[in-house]
Amino acid sequence: MNRGLFALTLGLAAAPVHAAMPTGLTLMKEVTGSGGASYSLDVQTLLVITGLAFLPGILLLMTGFTRIIIVLSVMRQAMGLQTTPPNMVLSALALALSVFVMRGVIQQEQTLAIDPYLAGQISFNQAVAAAKGPEQNFMLAQTRKAPLHLFVDLSGGHYATPKDVPMTVLVPAFATSELETAFQISFLIYVPFVLIDLAVASVLMSLGMIMVSPTLISLPLKLLMFVSIHGWVLVLGTLANSFVLPP
């Protein structure tokens, strides 16, 4: 499964169903003139509906959502806020930023796969294959060499170029790279907040106020600093610029 199938799902949802099509499920293949085989419309619809169950996994493992949500969650923890912003808000923000980052990939999938398929110029199988290319290029641009070499060695395969690596090998390598990148960004964001906590704790200790929780004083200071430097703009801008967009 790939994100091209998700894009095709959106396209199929808007496609009109021909009135002459039978309402029952037809499990059959139609032989094309070139000798190939393509699934009938009913089977294609079944495959797309089945693919909807994999959308959460596709979102987590094949897009920038994982990197973004990890960084936002660590930033919230570094500020000392346990439930603010709520998880639903962070997830929605991460989803919106993921769509923004991958807008080029989505546009390419629409141009190469969805529009030709809806126009009847290509078959369903050709549309899925065409949608795979932009997603694969995006994942390869973010994947580090060490995770990619690791999973290639574990698979026992030998590939001439990175583009020859199958999705079954590329997906875990991409997910591992995203985790590593997310932790690196999170570390850089966490350090300034830790310094504020240490400074406040040192001042309270020197004043003999050992019964006062440092968090009670450092939390408003961290919020003031974060707002004064336009922290949300800096964090979201850093996350968006951290993705390497393929040409």
User: Is residue 213 situated within a structural domain?
Assistant: yes
pTM (two decimals): 0.73
Q: Nearest CA to 219 among 90, 73, 76, 70?
A: 76
- Whether the pLDDT of residue 16 is over 70: the answer is no
pLDDT for 44 equals 61
Question: In the predicted model, is pLDDT for residue 39 greater than 60?
Answer: no
198 found inside a domain: yes
Segment 77-89 mean pLDDT: 86
Neighbours of 98 (CB within 10 A): 20
- Residues with Cβ < 8 Å from 202, sequence gap 6 or more? none
Task: Specify if 154 maps to a domain.
Answer: yes
What gap in Å lies between CA 183 and CA 200, rounded to an integer? Answer: 26
Is pLDDT at 183 greater than 90 in this prediction? yes
Is position 222 within any domain? yes
Q: Could you please report the per-residue DSSP string of 181-214?
A: HHHHHHHHHHHHHHHHHHHHHHHHHHTT-TTS-H
CB 116: neighbour CB atoms within 10 A?
16
Q: Which domain holds residue 90?
A: 3-15+37-241
Distance CA 133, CA 111 (A): 12
- The answer to whether residue 30 sits within a structural domain is no
Task: With respect to residue 120, please indicate whether it lies within any of the assigned structural domains.
Answer: yes
pLDDT at 84 over 60: yes
Residue 119 lies in a domain: yes
Residue 85 falls inside a structural domain: yes
Query: To 10 degrees, the CA torsion angle through 65, 67, 72, 73?
Result: 100
> What's the pLDDT score for residue 68?
92
Q: For residue 45, give the amino acid letter.
A: T
Type of residue numbered 129: A
Whole-angstrom Cα distance, residue 238 to residue 232?
A: 10
Q: Residue 25: pLDDT band by 50, 70, 90 thresholds?
A: very low
Pick from 2-11, 19-28, 111-120 the range whose average pLDDT is largest.
111-120
Is residue 124's pLDDT more than 90?
Answer: no
Q: What is the mean pLDDT of residues 82-94?
A: 88
- Domains in the chain: how many in total? 1
Is a pLDDT exceeding 50 seen at residue 32?
no
Mean pLDDT value of segment 130-137: 83
pLDDT digits (tens, 9 = 90+) for 204-221: 888 777 777 777 788 888
Terminal Cα-to-Cα distance of the chain (whole angstroms): 23
- If you compute the radius of gyration of the chain from its CA atoms, what whole number of angstroms results? 24
